[in-house]
Structure 1
């Protein structure tokens, strides 16, 4: 049968015929099945949270805003701030050293990154916390010669100092690679064009390289900051009164393990959400003029 012989397949002759054509939207039956399944699972989970006495919500609400917990949240934020600022500050220096033409600087940076990414964070924390066991005294003087003065290391590094030092040095190794990857992602031809125009190298880096590199650096850097925020729970091994350590202390006394763990969990979720919102606006700030329409990247079936 030819196409024109069938009334439904005959090509329309005018606008009136086009108006009569029935537009049928694409149906997605499995999408609705998935939505129903997810809603049922969420409803079951919420119902369990409400009706299961094992969650012990009265204890949760009693300790969620307790003074000791709020202090611990403040310590956690301090550790995150210090670790981020020092870690990324050192990481930028290491990244520039790694990109340097000097083989010596490149080797030093590569060795640092290799060493601190290889050693677990908990080992680094315990090392800095017990530094006085290895070195009883630090002296200053002529190398391999007489010492002018020295001091005991017993009180040199406090638990808080050991935690900040361990987190920052560990973070710097990862930050260096994040910054380096962002810099090398910038098209080298733009630097050649800037050099041909006589733009100084410092200005090239500040006005050309850095704004473009930030678009690649920020998503990974934000993930590292969020990971550092949650990773501060590791410093509980050196008895720092951060959030997870304080929760352990409390449930060690009253045996309300689940309720206190939920206290820590909700605080971590709430603060991570705030960091994610801040990440969104910072990324939006640096992606002006280069953001693709995300609607075009959505996958549909």
Structure 2
């Protein structure tokens, strides 16, 4: 209805009608048609690869999350098998894995006062810069570095090192997939091309009323509504894929629900093992 209203408003204007007649008499209509076709083709050529690029980035994120959670569970199993009996070391390693899950895998960071309180920000720059901030943390603040340091002596250290190394590779893939790579000018160009297509469509189609009469304009009103709907869907799909998947209200492609399900069992096991350790101390 909005597209039809705009269409009727443009065509019904006296100045617009005189301009259309002038366009038809001096063959300028073909030039506007060429602009319209060029803008539509350019939009199609740019929106297709943009969608594939963003979808591939989101697909890589899901694969890396599954690898990372699987390796984290393997690390917990190794800690349980090789460190049981060494109480201080066992508790320290389990606490490191729990810190890694809460502060890194869930894509949140600790507050600046060091109280391990989870900080959640609603600003876009916070989530945009988060992958780079996580990868640039000091080794002393990295739980995996603590695990390597504690287990560096003895034969089990090599096994821990292999698991931690693979876990860091999966983490690097996850952070790389989370990092925003597409500049804003890409979407601005797509919006500009869509605007050109929508502005030239009424001018091109209204000139055909001298051939098909007013009845043809009613058909083109429906076409105008379909074009507006198609452009809106494509641009909304691209904007949803561009949103950082870990931010609050991250859109239709948010990974928080999937990640919550994936790490639920891991966190429950870590809490149960640490609680069992605390109970044994009390006994």
So what's the TM-score if we normalise by structure 1? 0.28
Q: Decide which structure has greater helix share.
A: 2
So what's the TM-score if we normalise by structure 2? 0.30
